[in-house]
Amino acid sequence: MLEYPGSEPGFASPLALAAGVEWIRLPLSFPPRHVNVYRIETSGGTILVDTGLGNRETRELWDSLWSRAPCSKVVVTHFHPDHIGQAAALEGLGAKILVPAPEIAKARQIHALGADELTLHMSRFFIAHGLSGSAPGFGRGNGYRYMVPVLPERSLALLKGALDFAPEWSVRFAGGHSPAHALLTRDQAPIVVAGDILLPRITPNISVWPEDPDADPLGDYLRALDGLRRDLPTDGLILPAHGSPYRGIHERIAAIQAHHAARLDLLREAIGTAGSVSAAEMLLRLFPHELDPGSLPFALGETVAHLNHLWRRGEIERPRDRHGVYRYMR
């Protein structure tokens, strides 16, 4: 059983979790309806980890929170809108922004894409995996730019290893959910700021995206989990971006690993029975309840991630049929 030491605070009402560590929940306009950010006292000043969505509601919450307790530095774990959304606004209030270099590069790349380009890439990806080309939810402009209107003007590269201004904290990266998601760890009174990598109840989306169709993000994520299981202390307090802070990291990692192992087994079995499958044919097997238009690209991306993982391990092949659709087969 995971252990939850704090009870859920209201939005924008900081809750002290441990000495010098505050949990702040911010609203999200989509499930899971909230994102957690953390204010942490370090030997080099108070830092904030993650920032919330780039909308007016969150901006107004920061205006009042910040005047009471500003932070000199903001660490952004990864490029997703609920994490980087307010970084530009907080930069404007005087904070230095630290982001892993591959994450800010990804943010700038997506931010710059035209809506037509995004739709075209997603349609081609849908077709290549056996769905019709009209990708719902991707024809309404650049959704990323809608949730992150402005990116920080300058950001410092967050590097692996000890934080230079607070050496009791170290940074490590995990792939799979995004290019190089940062986790912050402290050994003394152990804490892991885990962002989306180690959520207590749900698993982070692990997707292949159109711009990198041969990628193996599930392999990246599983490798990261192995490293975390090896290196992190069993008794640490885990601070996730969604859900409640918890203890029981090894148990949680084992459960996430088992979840993906079961999905890989399901696909192996389906390929064994049918001879070959497309991602579209496997979508409903992996996601029987999650096919509203907005989540379809994530469900397809995650299905392809599991199939690509088997392909990249050399267990199966991935030729295209005469319609150009990938068939995964032994």
CA distance 121 to 125: 6
Which residue is closest to Zn ion by CB? 80
The two tokens of residue 101 are 């270099």
Determine the Cα–Cα distance for residues 300 and 125; give it in Å rounded to an integer. Answer: 9
Residue with smaller CB distance to Zn ion, 196 or 220: 196
Least distance CB 51 / Zn ion (angstroms)? 13
Spatial distance between the Cα atoms of 316 and 326, rounded to a whole number of angstroms: 12
| Binding test (CB under 5 A) with Zn ion, winner from 80, 96, 309, 327 | 80
Give the interface segment with Zn ion, choosing from 46-54, 73-81, 231-239, 322-330 (CB under 5 A): 73-81
Closest to Zn ion by CB, 39 or 242: 242
**Closer residue to Zn ion (CB): 177 or 309:** 177
How many residues touch Zn ion under the rule CB under 5 A: the total is 2
Binding characters for Zn ion, 169-208, by CB under 5 A (x = yes)? ---------------------------x------------
CB of 260 to Zn ion, least distance (A): 17
CB of 16 to Zn ion, least distance (A): 26
CB 241 → Zn ion: shortest distance, Å? 7
**Does 106 engage in binding with Zn ion (CB under 5 A)?**
no
54 close to 147: Cβ distance less than 8 angstroms: yes
**Residue closer to Zn ion (CB basis): 20 or 31:** 31
Stretch that binds Zn ion, among 80-88, 278-286, 287-295, 303-311 (CB under 5 A): 80-88
Q: d(Cα 69, Cα 67) in Å, to the nearest integer?
A: 6
Helix (H, G, I), strand (E, B) or coil at 172: strand
Rounded to the nearest whole angstrom, what is the least distance from the CB of residue 287 to Zn ion in the complex? Answer: 18
In this complex, which beta carbon is closest to Zn ion, that of residue 152 or of residue 179? 179
- Provide the minimum distance between the beta carbon of 252 and Zn ion in the complex, in angstroms, as a whole number: 17
Tell me which residue has tokens 């809608």: 146
Asked, as a colleague might, if the bond just before 32 is cis with ω within 30 of 0, I would say yes
For the CB of residue 288, give the shortest distance to Zn ion in the complex, in Å.
23
The residues with which 174 forms a beta bridge, in sequence order, are 181
> Quick one: which segment of 54-62, 79-87, 115-123, 257-265 binds Zn ion (CB under 5 A)?
79-87
HEC assignment per residue over 250-311: HHHHHHHHHHHHHHHHHHHHHHHHHCEECHHHHHHHHCCCCCCHHHHHHHHHHHHHHHHHHH
| AA identity, residue 266 | L
Question: Residue 233 phi/psi, 5° resolution?
Answer: -70, 145
What's the DSSP call for residue 10? P
Interface residue list for Zn ion (CB under 5 A): 80, 196
